[in-house]
Structure formats: structure tokens, C-alpha cells
Chains A and B, each alone.
Chain A
Amino acid sequence: MTFIRPRPSFKERTKTVQSQLPLYPEEASNFAPHVDALMLYLTSLCAFFAVGITIAIVYFFFKYHRKSPNDIGTPIEGDSRLEATWIIIPLILALCTFSWGAVIYVDYRHTPPDTLDIYVIAKQWMWKAQQPNGLKEINELHVPVNRNIRLTLASEDVIHDFYVPAFRVKMDVVPGHYNTMWFRPTKPGRYHFFCSQYCGTNHAIMGGWVIVMEPTDYAAWLSGSSGGEANPVAAGEKLFSERACITCHLANGTGRAPSLNGVYGAQVLLADGTTVTADEAYIRESILQPNAKIVAGYQPLMPTFQGQLTEEQILALTAYIKSLQSQPVPAKGAGIAPTTGKK
């Protein structure tokens, strides 16, 4: 049912440089180039009329400025042919615009048959997505590039709206109905999605990221997450970087969070002066409730991953952290209590 052909990106065609002040968001879906092209056409058309009228007004304004207080203008009552002209021409242009817009819309509303189906559930004020294999995400949506994605949208309370500017698509999430929307991401990357139907207090922060991945990465992410990975350590390592753990837990101990080298099995000195053995239960708790036990010398910065990781993923991460036991422990910043310390 795709009526519209693929089209080179708007950026490539116009060679416009998006400077410090961008005029349009990134084009990252099959719809984006079409919407941008339509936007460019309509902007040009409207600019033509707006500028034309402005020039006429400004010109008349100065040209026919009253010179003496008692002057009057030349009486011109009107002209039917002129009226007909400026009724018919805008009408034709308007209908062209309508048709172009309609083609894109009909395409958008008719999902192609071969889609990857993901369920998205909205509630005040968070998004839950469920991948085809049952994996759940919160405020994140992982999709493979160049694949038709169909989202089935449901709301648990009020009306929300799933909106990805980079894809140029949105659809209301209406309680009591299932709405669907589809798109085909064309570029790997991270893109904002927003709730764009006002839904109460925290409407503005009810958003997240769509992560478009290469198909192999997506498959690995999916299977790694679902526990199908043969090697949990490798899966854990992957998660460790994907979930951005690695950005703080630097191996050399200079990060904002302690290095995890050699942590497993060691004594960890906590901010309240006590120490704790870094066993599996401790690691699990630190992932799910990071602020329960803060390592001495560090700030409670880590976000909670409660509800965002499957049990398999937690296991994989634990396996990976265990594997770091043999790595060299940095001189500072490991948070490991000196072996000479008490307990």
C-alpha cells in the first residue's frame, strides 16, 4: 500500500547546512523526506503569496500616501474577472496541496503487511514498550533500521500521543481504543520521542528515546536481553556499554563511579563507614537500587534500572562483573576496602 516512492533525503537534495539554528529535525524515517519536501513546497508557495501581498501593501502605502488633507482616492468598485482569478488560482493550488498531503497521510494510515510489531502502552507519565519476543522497555524503544515497524498504542488512563520528530510521525494513544502507527527508520541513532497530547502534570517529561540499530545489533540486543546469548559474559559486556554503565564505571578508576575491576568477592567500603562483601546479591541490589549502599568517596548519581532490565540481563551483567575479578585493580577509585582494614 505504499503509494510514495523512496526519496533521497531532503538534506542531500537541498544541500542546506543546518547551522547552529537548525530549521528542521533530523530525517530518520521513510516519511521524513516526503514531509520535508511537502513542507518546502508549501513554504515556498505561501512565501510567494505573503511576500507578494506585503510588497503590494508597502508599495501602495508609500506610493498613494495622502498628499493633501482633502484628497480622496479614485473610486474603483471592483472587478469580477479579477475576483474570479483570485478565487480560482488559489483554489487549484489549495487542491494540489490537499492531494499531496493526502497521499502521505493515506500511506501513513495504511500499514504495510510485513511489519515488526511492537506494543506501546502509555500511562501517566511513562511509556512501556514490548518487543515481539516479550522484552519490555521503559521510556525507550529499540528498533532495527530499514524495517517497517508497526506500533500498537494503548493507554491506561488519559489520551497521550506518541511523537517522534525525527520520523515526522505521531499518533494519539486513546484509552479504550487501540491505535496503530507505522514507520521505517532509515538511519541508526538515538532520537527523542515525546508525548504530544497534553496528559496532566508531567506531560512535558513523558518522553524518551527511540534507538535505531543495525539489524544485527538489534538481533543481538534482543537475544542478549532475552537470555538466548550463549555467553552471558559477552552479553553482559555488551549491556555494560549499551546501558552506558561504562561511561561512569571507568576501568582505570577515574570515572564518576568506582571501577569494577576486582570488585567481585572483595570488601567494599561504604560512605557510612561500613564495609560489605561484593557478592551477587550486592551487585544485583546496586543495579536495581543503586542508592541503597553508596561506595565511600562517590556521589549517589547512578539511576535505578528497576523494571528496565530483565532477570536475564541482570544475570548477564553480574556474570560480566564477576569476570572482571581477574582484571588489575586501579590504585585509586576502586572503592575496595584495603585488605588491612578491619573486618
Chain B
Amino acid sequence: MSATLTSPDYKLPRDHYLNATYGIRSWLLTTDHKRIALLYLISVTFFFFIGGIFATLIRIHLLTPSGALVSPETYNKLFTMHGVAMIFFFLIPSIPAILGNFLIPIMIGAKDLAFPKINLLSWYIYVVGGCFVLYSFSTGGLDTGWTFYTPLSSVYSNSAVTPAVIGIFINGFSSILTGLNFIVTVHTMRAPGMTWFRLPLFVWAHYATSLVMILGTPVVAITLLLAGLERMFHLGFFNPAMGGDPILFQHLFWFYSHPAVYIMILPSMGVISEIIPTFARKPIFGYSFIAGSSIAIAVIGFLVWAHHMFVTGESTYAALTFSFLSYLVAIPSAVKVFNWTATLYKGSISWDAPMLYALGFIGLFTIGGLTGLFLACLGLDIHIHDTYFVIAHFHYIMVGGAVMGYVGGIHFWWPKITGKLYPEVLSRVAAVTLFVGFNLTFFPQFILGYLGMPRRYHSYPPEFQVLNVLSTAGASVLALGYLLPMIYLTWSMRYGRVAGPNPWPATGLEWKTDSPPPTENFHVTPQVDWEPYDYNNRPDLGLAAGRPLAPAHGDD
């Protein structure tokens, strides 16, 4: 199927970023964006494990109406820590800090990011923030919900809120510095000939993501700082007993935390926009619309936050404004889905694992996005707000969307990162397992939500049990789907076949250099003289460029 079956036996390049220097210091003090990306890969995977263990315990606990496993206090800590670990320490840094870090400089033909030391610093900030949060987890845990609503978090909770808040505050600067680095890099470091409209859509998506990072993160940082100060020094910013307004906390919190959803999903959309044209071997349909919609999502995404607050008693005017704007942000997402689908038309579609992930992403993201319309709809949100409908919706976006894109992206660029190929059949099995397991886990939760099961319940009325059991059963399939890639990808690092510079083959600049790339990314500064995703004028790819498709599978 894939070109790799017929590719010649490649050898790894003699010098590359992995063997340039040795020793622990050469990694911990590196300023090479590719090595920093791998540092992130390790630490982010660690937090994914932690969050995943919490998720597993949550699902097991919910097998019976009265709660099968743990006490209410423990359950509350489990879902809070699951949320904090997954959102702040896995989803937000996952694609930008790993794939973005690794690929953006190579994709635009630069030797590194504009500020390599700041890049390393942002990883250390992430680690320090992570340590604070782990400290919170291990000394009493955290039971406020990842949203830290006041005055529960700032006054009433008896858990280790303060270190967690400090950890997330610190971690915010990691995000800000990464975003800053990307924006400057894209502006000033592009290779000759790499015009804005020749940028890969992955880079566009990360540019949009970076906008959200630098504009939103400082607001949540100051908000959590205020909540932390309120808790430590008994101040009254958000404490109604002292005249503060808890709803103001929600405004400030969601000003970041809604756009943060776009930090998670936009990079994933960027990954999909790379995978689909590569495995359909044709230019992406509507390049400028996909690029523009990324920016539109980032900008409009900032105008919708109070749709998380329709039933807080916010003014009807605010609710109408925010609901209206929320419907507008749906349009650029829809544009992307339509364009990806149209790209498949008359393609030459391979069934490689990255493509399976990408198509799975479109399906799940479509469901996740469309169910967002339900929640943005004022009349419906009165009923489904804070129920399992919300849980299902955002897991479709974040797990079905962001994580599928992340895992798909890892599969797509694994040969570039490690220089090795992974087992083909196994990788396709994993993709399908993930897709099936995911739907089994989360689709029942839509129904649970409409039936009225509120979220964050350690026990529930017995009529909700059937759907909960179904969901837990699905979760076990899902867990298997995550474990498989971890095993065979690790295996492939040592035993996988050598990939060669461009195994798929793909058109991006990153595939013009060695796999793994040399420390300086390119032996000579590249000159870009082709349009993005153009297979027809690229004889260097060794494909049937310019040749009309064979009648057997061409015109319809």
C-alpha cells in the first residue's frame, strides 16, 4: 500500500541531532529545539499516564450507582486531578511543545526557533510547575474541580489548592514563552522563498494557537494568582462573604479557558491538514480558507467565553451576546471539515495509520463540534449545562479531536523524529481500536446528560447505571488503544526499519532533510520554490508527477 513497502533499504545518516552529543548534560542543557521537543515528549507522556490512571479509576468507580471503588472525597480528587493533569500538563503542551517545537523551524527552513534558550527555559518552567502540581496531588490531593470555582477553591476546600494553583500559574509562563517563540520565529525566521502562503497549514495553525497562548494565558495566570492570594491571605477578590464576586472569577477564568480549548484543538487541526493531503497525494482543498479559519477561530474564540455561564444568573443581554458569538465560531470549524472532506475527492488515498487517525479525527471532531451547538444554544443549555452531555462534548473535542490528532501526528512524523518505521498492521489496528473504544466510552454520555445526570457525581440514581457500565466498558477498549502505540513505538526506536528522509512521501520542507535531521536541520539553507502540497510539480518525490491517473481508479 504505502510507498514504504517498495522503498530501498535506507541507512541512518551518520550525524544527526540524536547522536550529535552524548550524556545527560547534553540533553538537559540543550538548546536544540528537536531535543527540547523530546524532553517535552517524555514529560508530557508522564502526565498523560497520571491523568489516564485517574480516568481509569473514575470509570471503574462509576460502575455501580453508589460508587464501586473510592470514597466521595477521593472521587472528587480523582476527577479534579484528572482534569488538571490532562488539560494543563498534557493537552495544552502536547502538540505545540512536542510536534510544533520539533517541526516549525524545519518546516519554515530555519536552524532553530528565534529564542532557543527561552525554549529550554519554557521546558524547565513546565517541569517546575509540574512539580508543584505533583506535590499538591501527593499531599492531600486537590478537590476543587479543574475549574477552581471560588469560593469553593479559595475558602471552603480542605485540599492542597495552593500548590496546585501556584503550579498552574508557573506552567502558564511555559505556554506564553512557547507561543511567543513561535510567533517571532514564524515572522522572522522563514527561509528564502517561504512566503506566508507557502507555509504549511500546520504552521498556520500553530501561529493561531500561539496567539491564544500569549493573549489568554496571562489572564488565567493573574486570575489563579488572585484566587491563590485570596486563599493564602484571606482576601476577598472573589469571596462573597467579603464583598467579592464569584462570578467575576468565572469571567476571568473562562476568558482564557475557553480559548484554551482552541490551544488544544487548533494544533491538532494543523496536523490533520498535513496528513490528509499527504495521504491523498493532492493539494489541500481551499488552502487559504483553512489557513484563514485557523486565525478566525483564534480571534472569535476569545469572544465566546461566557457561554459557560448561561445559568449563573449573568444578564440576559450577556447571554444573548455570547450565544450569538458562539454560533459564529462554529463556522470556521465547519469550513475546515468541509475542506478536508473535499480534499479526499479524486485523491489517491492510502490506508496508512496516520490517515486512519486523521479520518477518525474528522468524524469525532464533527460530532464534538456539532454537539457544541447544543451547548451554545441558550434554551438547551439550561437543561444540559453541567451534565454528562458537557463531559461527552468536550471529550469528543479534546480526546476525539486533540488526542487523535496528536497520536496521528506522532505516527506521521515518527519516522522523521526517530528515523525509524513502526509496524504497519499493528498501527492500523491501534487506530481502529482507539476510534471504536472512544465512541463506546463517550457516546453513551450524551444520552446520560440529556437524561439529567449531573457531572462530578460520585454516586448516581440507579436509572443511569446501564449507560455508565457501557461507558466503562468502552473505556477499557480505549485504554488498550492507547497502550498499543506506546508499546510498538517504543519497540520501533530500536527494532524498526530505517525510514529514509521521506517515507510517505510528503511535500513539506521537513521531508527534504535527513531522518533524523542534523542538529542544524539542513546542511544548506533551503530555497523554497514550490507551492504547498503540490505533487504535480515535484519530480524529486519520485512519484507519477503530472501523469493522469489510471482510468481504473481515476475519473468517476
A and B, direct touch (CB closer than 8 Å): yes
Asked if A53 lies at the interface with its beta carbon under 8 angstroms from chain B, I say yes
Knowing A64-B344, A106-B316, A202-B72, the reply to whether A90 touches B334 (Cβ < 8 A) is: yes
> For the complex, what is the distance from the CA of A10 to the CA of B526, rounded to whole Å?
64
Partner of B450, one of A23, A53, A159, A200: A23
Q: What is the interface of chain A mostly: helix, strand, loop, or mixed?
A: mixed
Asked if B225 lies at the interface with its beta carbon under 8 angstroms from chain A, I say no
Chain B positions within 8 Å of A159 at CB level = 149, 151-152, 246, 312
Chain B nearest CB, measured from A281 CB (Å): 37
Q: Is the CB of B450 within 8 A of A64?
A: no
Q: Is the CB of A74 within 8 A of B554?
A: yes
Binary contact track A96-121/B, C-beta < 8 Å → 1, others 0: 01101111111011100000000000
Chain A positions within 8 Å of B342 at CB level = 76, 82
Residues of A116-134 whose CB lies within 8 A of B = 124
Chain A nearest CB, measured from B496 CB (Å): 20
Chain B nearest CB, measured from A170 CB (Å): 5
Kindly specify which of A32-40, A233-241, A255-263, A291-299 makes contact with the partner chain: A32-40
Chain B positions within 8 Å of A166 at CB level = 452
How many residues of A are counted as interface, with CB atoms below 8 angstroms from the partner's CB atoms?
89
Kindly specify which of A65-73, A142-150, A313-321, A333-341 makes contact with the partner chain: A65-73
Asked if A63 lies at the interface with its beta carbon under 8 angstroms from chain B, I say yes
Q: Is the CB of B320 within 8 A of A61?
A: no
Q: Is the CB of A177 within 8 A of B313?
A: yes
Q: Is the CB of B380 within 8 A of A201?
A: no
How many residues of B are counted as interface, with CB atoms below 8 angstroms from the partner's CB atoms?
109
Binary contact track B317-332/A, C-beta < 8 Å → 1, others 0: 0011001100110110
Knowing A57-B362, A108-B382, the reply to whether A73 touches B280 (Cβ < 8 A) is: yes
Residues of A42-87 whose CB lies within 8 A of B = 42, 46, 49-50, 53-54, 56-57, 60-61, 63-79, 82-83, 86-87
Q: Is the CB of A71 within 8 A of B386?
A: no
Chain A positions within 8 Å of B382 at CB level = 31, 35, 104-105, 108, 168-170
Most buried by A among B246, B363, B381, B455: B246
Partner of B380, one of A42, A66, A70, A124: A42
Q: Is the CB of B373 within 8 A of A42?
A: yes
> For the complex, what is the distance from the CA of A108 to the CA of B73, rounded to whole Å?
35
Chain B nearest CB, measured from A162 CB (Å): 10
Q: Is the CB of B312 within 8 A of A174?
A: yes
> For the complex, what is the distance from the CA of A60 to the CA of B338, rounded to whole Å?
13
Asked if A171 lies at the interface with its beta carbon under 8 angstroms from chain B, I say yes
Partner of A109, one of B316, B331, B542: B316
Chain A positions within 8 Å of B2 at CB level = 69
Q: Is the CB of B454 within 8 A of A194?
A: yes
Most buried by B among A49, A61, A200: A200
Asked if B42 lies at the interface with its beta carbon under 8 angstroms from chain A, I say no
Q: Is the CB of B335 within 8 A of A86?
A: yes
Closest to B285 in A: A78
Residues of A150-172 whose CB lies within 8 A of B = 157-159, 161, 163, 165-166, 168-172
Partner of A46, one of B371, B386, B459: B371
Asked if B447 lies at the interface with its beta carbon under 8 angstroms from chain A, I say yes
Q: Is the CB of A94 within 8 A of B331?
A: yes
Residues of A2-25 whose CB lies within 8 A of B = 20-25
Q: Is the CB of B282 within 8 A of A24?
A: no
Kindly specify which of B114-122, B123-131, B475-483, B545-553 makes contact with the partner chain: B545-553
Q: Is the CB of A68 within 8 A of B550?
A: yes
Chain B positions within 8 Å of A230 at CB level = none
Kindly specify which of B12-20, B30-38, B91-99, B346-354 makes contact with the partner chain: B346-354
Q: Is the CB of B283 within 8 A of A39?
A: no
Asked if B287 lies at the interface with its beta carbon under 8 angstroms from chain A, I say yes
Knowing A65-B351, A101-B323, the reply to whether A73 touches B346 (Cβ < 8 A) is: yes
Chain A nearest CB, measured from B237 CB (Å): 13
Q: Is the CB of A39 within 8 A of B341?
A: no
Q: Is the CB of B373 within 8 A of A103?
A: no
Chain A positions within 8 Å of B553 at CB level = 63-67, 71
Knowing A91-B331, A97-B327, the reply to whether A34 touches B346 (Cβ < 8 A) is: no
Q: Is the CB of B379 within 8 A of A53?
A: no
Chain B positions within 8 Å of A50 at CB level = 363, 366-367, 370
> For the complex, what is the distance from the CA of A106 to the CA of B143, rounded to whole Å?
35
Q: Is the CB of B345 within 8 A of A105?
A: no
Q: Is the CB of A76 within 8 A of B282?
A: yes
Knowing A53-B362, A105-B382, A158-B151, the reply to whether A21 touches B535 (Cβ < 8 A) is: no
Q: Is the CB of B246 within 8 A of A174?
A: yes
> For the complex, what is the distance from the CA of A67 to the CA of B554, rounded to whole Å?
10
Chain B nearest CB, measured from A23 CB (Å): 6
Asked if B281 lies at the interface with its beta carbon under 8 angstroms from chain A, I say yes
Binary contact track B376-389/A, C-beta < 8 Å → 1, others 0: 11111111011100
Asked if A179 lies at the interface with its beta carbon under 8 angstroms from chain B, I say yes
27 contacts between A and B (CB under 8 A): A24-B451, A25-B452, A35-B379, A39-B450, A46-B371, A69-B5, A71-B543, A72-B549, A73-B346, A74-B346, A76-B282, A79-B285, A83-B289, A102-B323, A102-B378, A105-B378, A105-B379, A105-B382, A158-B152, A159-B246, A168-B383, A169-B382, A170-B311, A176-B246, A198-B152, A201-B143, A204-B456
Known A102-B378, A105-B379; 15 more pairs at CB < 8 Å: A21-B447, A50-B366, A61-B351, A66-B348, A70-B542, A72-B547, A73-B347, A77-B285, A87-B331, A104-B382, A170-B385, A171-B311, A197-B149, A198-B145, A204-B72
On A, residues with C-beta under 8 Å from B are 20-25, 31, 34-35, 38-39, 42, 46, 49-50, 53-54, 56-57, 60-61, 63-79, 82-83, 86-87, 90-91, 94-95, 97-98, 100-106, 108-110, 124, 157-159, 161, 163, 165-166, 168-172, 174-177, 179, 192, 194-205
List of 7 A-B pairs having minimum Cβ-Cβ separation, nearest first = A165-B452, A176-B240, A104-B379, A73-B282, A105-B378, A101-B377, A73-B347
